Amino acid sequence: MYSLVRSLRFSAARSARAFSADPTSRSADAPAGALQGEQLITQKLTEKFSPSQLQVQDVSGGCGSFYAITIASEAFKGLPIVKQHKLVTETLKQEIAGIHGLQIKTIAQ
């Protein structure tokens, strides 16, 4: 029994490492689309929300398939978080169709 539990722990840890993304480890030969994706998302969100704070980061290891967004805007004031996130996802509808994941943190001001 002990060896089974140990084996499962090892397997889970190995799987977690295999799929982890370190946003600070973008390789020098990362696809140009990764940076372009960040720039496009930044541009669209800036035009729509005039944010006081905006951070868009490719956290997929440089392949442009998963982004983390932190955005602060007066446009979110008085809205529930679900509605704030919906506004962001509606703005990025075209981009979301081509990526695997999106992490959103909104800040109402």
pLDDT in tens, 17-34: 333 333 333 434 445 555
pLDDT tens figures, 88-108: 999 999 999 999 999 999 999
pTM higher than 0.75: no
Residue 64: Cβ within 10 Å count: 21
| Whole-angstrom distance, CA of residue 107 vs CA of residue 69 | 11
Fold of 21-108: GMP Synthetase; Chain A, domain 3 (3.30.300)
For the record, the structure tokens of 4 come out as 């089974």
Q: What is the pLDDT of residue 32?
A: 57
pLDDT tens figures, 62-87: 788 999 999 999 999 999 999 999 99
Q: Is 57 exposed, middle or buried (0-12, 13-18, 19+ CB in 10 A)?
A: middle
For the record, the structure tokens of 103 come out as 């992490």
Helix, strand, coil shares of the chain, percent, nearest 5, are 50, 20, 30
